[in-house]
Chain A
Amino acid sequence: MMAALRARAISLFQGILCNSKSNSSALDVRFQVCVTQVRSHKIIQIPRFRHPYWHVRKDRSHYSENLTAENKEFIQETIAKEFGPPTVVSGVQTYGSPVKNVTKVEPVEWFPGIRRTSTIARKIGIQPMWLKDGTRVMCTLLQIVDNHVVKYNPPENVIPLRRREKVVPKKALGRYGALVVGAESADPQEFTKNYCGLFRESGLPPKRRLARFLISPQAVLPPGTPLNAMHYRAGDYVDVTGFTIMRGFQGVMKRWGFKGMRATHGVTKTHRRPGNIGAGGGKARVWPGKKMPGHMGGKTRTLRGLKILRINTEYNVLYVIGQNVPGQINSYTYIHDCLLQHRWVREAKDARPLPTYIPKEGETHPEDIYAADVHPFDGSSIMYEVVDTPTVRTGAKIAKAKGGKK
């Protein structure tokens, strides 16, 4: 084992030595890191590829550039020439002209396990809706904000996200490509030059938010393709990922829902405390993972299996069941097709629009599309009908009836 490692290190070392003379400086850096001697480590730590790899520095420092009014006007004119005049499209501030040279998207046939792209949305609020049987459900409004495909990386180039807790399963490697999707166009002056350069190929204005979604290579979309609420259908199930609301340092009652202790009856100083945290005897210690007070919120969490009750096509809003979608109002969320097994699409005839919804010429949609069991607000009041249920005879009664006939 050790011999093999040593051989690998040497070969790396030699290879870099050969290359370093001839070309890039980037390899020099790698070379330096490789040979740094760390006595305590048996294995040489090879520098890892940092993720997410498209990340370059985004925000720039806003210092005074002493621009005259004319200069500022000229900059705005140049931006308008490139991306079109600033306009509001379906409630979101963006630039007017459509993206140049976008290749047309062709529909794809469904096969089991095909994975489409996800979208970036803003959580804009919560409101009640009523189903046709009269039950009241709370739903969350998710607005898909000016989404465009920025870039595609085929499976062989994708290096999965390495996290401390979760490692991407090996079978996912080489199976999915990565689609970079951006949301909300913004003034290029807000960002660094490098960040704006990410969008040059696709011809898009720089986006406020970028996300990478793993997709099947068959469901690939060309850069510049817009994604909207018609990507989903009313009645479908989705998973929503968000960044939970920051709660700060919290006790066990709020953080884990412990019951606490009584307010009276001789209880002193332990009304909101956890109580006993470990056993004595042989294992006289606290087990790892014990629920304790600590920092609460501010974590990426996914709520799975949420039904889309309604879609507003004008403002690209999904009305998704549940009032506990992670994240504050006006924060970003990611909407994925549902991964729960019992919510999977199992047949081609039931397939979602693949690879995304492709608008046809002259096709119009109603402003609101409701799921089958949802009561629309402009519908008439709910009236229940008397249903005559046939009386079911139990076994004894049937026997009696039979006996009587005889």
Chain B
Amino acid sequence: MASCLSRLCLTSRLGGKTMRTIGCRGLNTSHISMMPKSSSSESTTDNSVEKESSKKRGKSTQVPSYEQGKVSRSGVELRFKYPEMFPEPHMIWRNPIKEKLERKDMLARRSRIYIPEFYVGSVLRVSLSNFHQADKTSTFVGICIQRNECGLKANFILRNVIDNLGVEVKIELYDPRLLKIEVLRLEKRLDTHLRYLRDAPHEFSTFPLDMKPEIRRTDDVPLNRIKVKLNPRPWTENWYKYDFKGIDNIEDQITNKMNRRRIQLRKPWEKYDMMKTYRETLPEEEINEILSEIKEDVEEHEQKHRRRIN
């Protein structure tokens, strides 16, 4: 029971990365049905349980603390702060030595550049050195619409609208040309990726290039529950096929046939598929092992950065 309760706390921190690499094998969604009634069913099934509901519950006896699970609070934070540190759980592509060497390289790069915590939906400013303008650095401001891959291949896509034209930049996280990453607004969104902003009105992905970083009052990462209205079809992808929580008007935009297809493609049973969860998640022990390996370096790195700011 303790493990299933700690799962809730873990999922509450879940941000941009998909469940696949962040999920934990020891803790299964199917246990959630055993939860006490005080937490609503909607919030339990939601991947990103908002902070508000946890606040409402307060610190009652039914609500588990982080200490109840095997992973400590700081460990949990690390796990969602640095999703690319955890390998793809596909067994035939894995090799422990390669993963170890890769982690070492990632930490080596992190000793040179501060890579902050950010999620899909956060607004970032990124500066890169550019071969074609050697005397300057090129900077870009935009919303992170996707985080891809693990290990040194990790990358993210920033989107902004400049002169009424949508612009996207794909940036490798461990590229040595990357000079600085600055988080202007740290928040999460309802979905694991926001590629549908490509088919939304420009206002949803417009950010001023001289945007200043917002001051954070708490350590918690707020969840932005904004719902986007899509432009009429044609779209770049068939958004109606997936259940996005962050799209408001999808049913107005599609035909009856599409709607039927949309209902047909739903897979409500998948959250009860224990084998699927098993295949697509890392075992809890392995996560703890990796965390214990990287923890010291990462904390030192954070402190160093804090000192630099102060």
Contacts and interface: CB of A to CB of B under 8 A. Distances in A.
Contacts of B131: 133-134, 384
A381 interface: yes
B112 A125 contact: no
A134 B177 contact: yes
Contact of B97 (A317, A384, A386): A317
Interface string A367-390: 000000001111111111111000
Interface string A149-179: 0000000000000000000000000000000
A141 interface: yes
Nearest to B93: A329
A270 interface: no
Nearest to B95: A124
A382 B112 contact: no
Nearest to B112: A380
Contacts of B135: 386
Contact of A377 (B97, B174, B179): B174
Interface in B135-188: 135, 151-153, 172, 174-179
25 contacts: A91-B96, A91-B97, A91-B100, A124-B95, A124-B97, A125-B93, A125-B95, A127-B102, A127-B105, A127-B151, A128-B152, A128-B172, A134-B131, A136-B175, A143-B97, A375-B176, A377-B176, A378-B112, A379-B112, A379-B176, A381-B112, A381-B129, A382-B129, A383-B129, A385-B134
Nearest to A138: B153
A127 B176 contact: no
Nearest to A385: B134
Contacts of B152: 127-128
**Smallest CB-CB A-B distances: 9 pairs:** A125-B98, A384-B134, A378-B108, A377-B108, A124-B95, A377-B105, A124-B98, A91-B97, A386-B134
Given A128-B172, A134-B176, A381-B176, A329 B95 contact: yes
A274 B97 CA distance: 43
Given A128-B174, A141-B98, A312-B101, 19 more contacts: A91-B97, A124-B98, A125-B95, A125-B99, A125-B102, A127-B152, A130-B176, A133-B131, A134-B129, A134-B177, A317-B97, A317-B101, A375-B176, A376-B108, A377-B106, A377-B108, A378-B109, A378-B111, A382-B177
A315 interface: yes
B176 A382 contact: yes
Interface of A: 91, 124-125, 127-128, 130, 133-134, 136, 141, 143, 312, 315, 317, 328-330, 375-387
A366 B175 CA distance: 23
Nearest to A131: B176
Contacts of A375: 176
A124 B87 CA distance: 14
Size class of the contact patch on chain B:
20 to 34
B172 to A, nearest CB: 7
> Which secondary structure characterizes the binding site on chain A?
loop
B113 interface: yes
Given A317-B101, A329-B92, A378-B111, A130 B175 contact: yes
B53 interface: no
Contact of A381 (B99, B113, B134, B153): B113
Nearest to A143: B97
B178 A381 contact: yes
B95 A330 contact: yes
Contacts of A381: 112-113, 129, 176-179
Nearest to B127: A381
Nearest to B111: A378
Contacts of B105: 127, 377
B74 interface: no
A133 B175 CA distance: 12
| Most A C-beta atoms less than 10 A away, residue of B99, B177, B179 | B177
Contacts of B151: 127
A380 B177 CA distance: 9
B82 to A, nearest CB: 16
B130 interface: yes
Contacts of B177: 130, 134, 381-382
A141 B92 contact: no
Given A127-B102, A328-B92, A384 B176 contact: no
A124 B151 CA distance: 14
A124 B112 CA distance: 27
A322 to B, nearest CB: 16
| Most B C-beta atoms less than 10 A away, residue of A124, A375, A380 | A124
| Most A C-beta atoms less than 10 A away, residue of B100, B176, B177, B179 | B176
A316 to B, nearest CB: 10
